Amino acid sequence: MDTTKLILTADAVVFTRADGRWHVLLIERKWDPFEGRWALPGGHIDPGESPDAAAVRELGEETGLLMPTTAVKVGVYDAPGRDPRGRYATHAYAAVVDGMPTPVAADDARAARWVPLTEVTATGLAFDHGRIVTDAMAQLAIS
């Protein structure tokens, strides 16, 4: 892969509160890199597509869930080496949903589930998704 070309992606960080604990929606990656590891729903931005539209689309494709219209942009993550495939920059969006809608894994996801935030650091998320989750928590004042 040409490592000088910047590839754009978008990730969705979706939180809910259930049983007195905060949870985040994660997918188990079906493909390399990081096959079998837990990650945020997300993927490539299609030509002519905005980053926020890509986050909504990828969330739907990988989990069957919709991104709330109250989603906020967390930031752009573009550190060299964040993705072993080359130079990738991801636009991350975060939101809180009511209830705990059941995700249905599809597309690039082998599985999808709500994970208590207390367990997220122990799972060793793919890419730099642990940092993105932490930043999203700070932006939405989730503790």
Bond into 33 cis (ω within 30): yes
- A 10 A CB-CB count for 115 gives 16
Instruction: Identify the pLDDT of residue 61.
Output: 96
- Domains along the chain? 6-139 (3.90.79.10)
Q: In order along the chain (143 residues), what is the average pLDDT of each group of 10 residues?
A: 82 97 97 95 97 96 94 97 95 97 94 95 86 96 93
Q: Coil, strand or helix: which one is 37?
A: coil
**14: phi > 0 → left, psi -120 to 50 → alpha, else beta; which?**
beta
Question: Which amino acid would we find at residue 128?
Answer: D
CB contact burial 79-90 (16+ within 10 A = b; e otherwise): eeeebeeebbbb
